């Protein structure tokens, strides 16, 4: 008996799998590309906020590094400007800043110059003593992606991957430019860091609303029985942005919407919506399920690509009285660029739960508004007892139930169902049952970067992508990239401020469906 009744395993608070009361150990964070955009807009504001809320250890230091020549003081001044500018929904507090600024240091240097790594080594030693960072180091690679392998190699060459404490590396997206380069990059990084030390960031996985998909599905008993091919007719995942490429023309021209959004963010969102329940909520179990799902996505043949993938590029237009340039007129973009600023794909998941259900995924720049959501359309009732009167007075079968998981800017969940309209007769109308984060919880949600930075410091990679997940998601977009690389598109094919090219509507119409352009 006693051999069977084992005492419960002791919970290590740093590994608390449900991430309730996360305690973050002392550490130093080295940011490569510290004068870049990500650092200014996301990393430093998130770190400041975490410091303000005492969610990181007081024994903490940041060492920024990039080519720009700056002293520690100048780096602090620059970062102060960025933090006060980009702090979302939060006031800037001068006293907190003064303490936070004491944790910021800077090393100027070329990332391919070995001397830079010696200087980083030295600074790490200094902050370990002055800020008691316990030898724990988190490297953050936010440089141009083409430097990732080299930086990691040099970290290894200078033995910076080992020390008194733990060593981890966060790698920003894009992770590779295609399947081959992603595999190669994985191989290069594995020469220096163990998989358990590699944190590939996909900030969508850190969004509260994306994490809530798992709570919604697996914390409730009533939705999961419907969550399959018997009750779901199709799913639409939309990530629309009203902005254009915002000065990132050079990068974007080489990337395009399929690589920039669908290969990573939206395929991870799709996996979150469709994966099987993990047996335990921990990093390996959750990631095993995501990876398994991504491996079940049907790999298209070239002919399927023509049917199931649509590329678009925005042209110039007057929107809200403002003249907006087309993509080809944006700075650093070639006048005959073949880049997709819009991509729509129909995926099929070949497993028992989802066989035959189309997943329509789209993302585009310069759409009419910013909205990211997942719409799950359920099958119609077997018998149409109630007809619905449309706005034009026609009588039609009522619109089927729709569950919308709202990721941003509205954050919440809506369920559309039919209700009897008041009055005589059985007139039915769609109504909506809404949950809204703001009004239900009344507190600020942490940003994705705040969540993910804390997780990496605490050593929890649940919301980071693993090698097999990244390679599987490249695998599903690779056939599309290959066909598109050999296609000359008649771009531009949608005007700024519209919902994308007609071909994307036709793709859905072939299966009797329509995009929800709400
Ligand atoms: C980034 C893409 O990863 O995600 C950008 O490179 C895109 O092009 C951004 O604008 C969207 O993120 P969010 O959190 O604003 O939806």
Contact between residue 361 and residue 509 where contact means Cβ atoms under 8 Å apart: no
As given in the structure block, the two tokens for residue 194 are 């163990």
Considering only CA atoms, which residue is closest to atom 13 of ligand 1?
204
Single pTM value for the model:
0.93
How many Å is the maximal CA-CA distance in the chain?
A: 83
Q: Tell me if 202 CB under 6 Å of ligand 1.
A: no
- Ligand 1, pocket-test mutation among 172, 202, 209, 241, most atoms within 8 A of CB: 241
Instruction: Single out the residue of 320, 294, 300 nearest to residue 466, CA to CA.
Output: 294
Question: Under a CB-based contact definition with an 8 Å cutoff, are residues 360 and 349 in contact?
Answer: no
Out of 203, 264, 410, mutate this one to test ligand 1's pocket (max ligand atoms within 8 Å of CB): namely 203
Rounded CA separation 168/29 (Å): 10
Angle between helices 448-458 and 44-52 (to 10 degrees): 70
Instruction: Kindly give the confidence (pLDDT) of every residue in the chain, 518 residues in length, as a single tens digit, with 9 standing for 90 and above.
Output: 334 444 444 444 444 566 666 779 999 999 999 999 999 999 999 999 999 988 999 899 999 999 999 999 999 999 999 999 998 777 899 999 999 999 999 999 999 999 999 999 999 999 999 999 999 999 999 999 999 999 999 999 999 999 999 999 999 999 999 999 999 999 999 999 999 999 999 999 999 999 999 999 999 999 999 999 999 999 999 999 999 998 889 899 999 999 999 999 999 999 999 999 999 999 999 999 999 999 999 999 999 999 999 999 999 999 889 999 999 999 999 999 999 999 999 999 999 999 999 999 999 999 999 999 999 999 998 888 887 766 676 667 778 899 999 999 999 999 999 999 999 888 888 999 999 998 999 888 899 999 999 999 999 999 999 999 999 999 999 999 999 999 999 999 999 999 999 999 999 999 999 999 86
Task: Classify strands 358-364 and 232-240 as parallel, antiparallel or unpaired.
Answer: parallel
What's the Cα-to-Cα distance from 25 to each of 55, 116, 139, rounded to whole Å? 10, 26, 15
- Contact 260 CB / ligand 1 (< 6 Å): yes
> What is the token pair recorded at 106?
């800077």
How far apart are alpha carbons 235 and 313 in whole angstroms?
A: 24
Contacts of 272 (CB under 8 A, 6+ apart): 205, 210, 213, 214, 290
Q: Which residues contact 99 (CB under 8 A, 6 or more apart)?
A: 51
Q: Ligand 1, residue 204: give the atom nearest the CA.
A: 14
Q: Is 265 a residue of the active site?
A: yes
Whether ligand 1 lies within 6 angstroms of the CB of 288 is answered as no
CB 279, CB 354: distance < 8 Å: no
Distance CA 289, CA 365 (A): 31
Residue nearest to atom 10 of ligand 1 (CA): 241
Q: Give the DSSP per-residue string, 70-129.
A: --HHHHHHHHHHHHHHH-TTS---HHHHHHHHTTEEEEE--TT-HHHHHHHHHHHHHHHH
Which uninterrupted H or E stretch holds 179? helix 179-190
Reference 236, options 346, 75, 313, 389; nearest CA is 346
């Amino acid at each position: 008996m006693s051999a069977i009744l084992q005492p419960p395993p002791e919970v290590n608070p740093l590994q608390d799998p449900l991430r309730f009361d996360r305690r973050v150990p002392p550490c130093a964070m080295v940011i490569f590309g510290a004068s870049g955009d990500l650092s200014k807009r996301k990393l430093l504001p998130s770190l400041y906020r975490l410091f303000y809320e005492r969610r990181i250890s007081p024994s903490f230091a940041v060492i920024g590094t990039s080519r720009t020549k700056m002293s520690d003081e100048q780096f602090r001044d620059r970062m102060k400007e960025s933090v006060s500018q980009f702090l979302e929904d939060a006031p800037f507090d001068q006293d907190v800043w003064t303490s936070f600024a004491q944790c910021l240091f800077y090393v100027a240097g070329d990332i391919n110059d070995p001397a830079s790594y010696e200087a980083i080594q030295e600074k790490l030693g200094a902050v370990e003593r002055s800020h008691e960072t316990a030898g724990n180091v988190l490297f953050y690679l936010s440089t141009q992606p083409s430097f990732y392998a080299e930086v990691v190699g040099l970290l290894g060459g200078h033995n910076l991957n080992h020390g008194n404490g733990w060593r981890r590396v966060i790698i920003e997206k894009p992770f590779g430019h295609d399947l081959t380069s992603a595999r190669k990059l994985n191989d290069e990084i594995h020469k220096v860091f163990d998989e358990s030390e590699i944190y590939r960031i996909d900030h969508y996985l850190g969004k509260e609303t994306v994490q809530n998909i798992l709570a919604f599905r697996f914390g409730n008993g009533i939705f999961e029985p419907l969550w399959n091919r018997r009750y779901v007719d199709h799913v639409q995942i939309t990530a629309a942005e009203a902005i254009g490429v915002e000065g990132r023309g050079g990068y974007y021209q080489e990337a395009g919407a399929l690589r920039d959004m669908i290969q990573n963010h939206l395929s991870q969102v799709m996996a979150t919506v469709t994966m099987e329940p993990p047996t335990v909520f921990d990093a390996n179990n959750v990631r095993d399920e995501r990876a398994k799902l991504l491996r079940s996505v049907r790999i298209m043949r070239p002919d399927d690509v023509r049917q199931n993938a649509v590329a678009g590029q925005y042209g110039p237009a007057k929107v809200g009285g403002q003249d907006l340039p087309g993509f080809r007129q944006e700075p650093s973009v070639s006048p005959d660029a073949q880049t997709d600023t819009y991509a729509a794909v129909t995926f099929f998941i070949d497993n028992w739960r989802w066989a035959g259900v189309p997943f329509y995924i789209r993302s585009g720049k310069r759409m009419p508004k910013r909205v990211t959501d997942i719409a799950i359309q359920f099958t119609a009732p077997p018998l149409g007892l109630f007809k619905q009167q449309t706005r034009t007075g026609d009588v039609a079968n009522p619109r089927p139930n729709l569950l919308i998981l709202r990721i941003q800017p509205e954050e919440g969940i809506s369920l559309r169902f039919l209700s009897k309209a008041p009055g005589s007769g059985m007139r039915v109308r769609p109504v909506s049952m809404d949950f809204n984060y703001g009004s239900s919880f009344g507190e600020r949600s942490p940003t994705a970067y705040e969540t993910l930075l804390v997780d990496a410091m605490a050593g929890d990679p649940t919301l980071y992508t693993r090698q097999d997940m990244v390679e599987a998601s490249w695998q599903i977009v690779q056939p599309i990239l290959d066909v598109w690389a050999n296609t000359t598109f008649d771009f531009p094919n949608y005007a700024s401020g519209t919902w994308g090219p007609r071909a994307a509507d036709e793709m859905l119409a072939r299966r009797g469906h329509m995009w929800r352009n709400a």
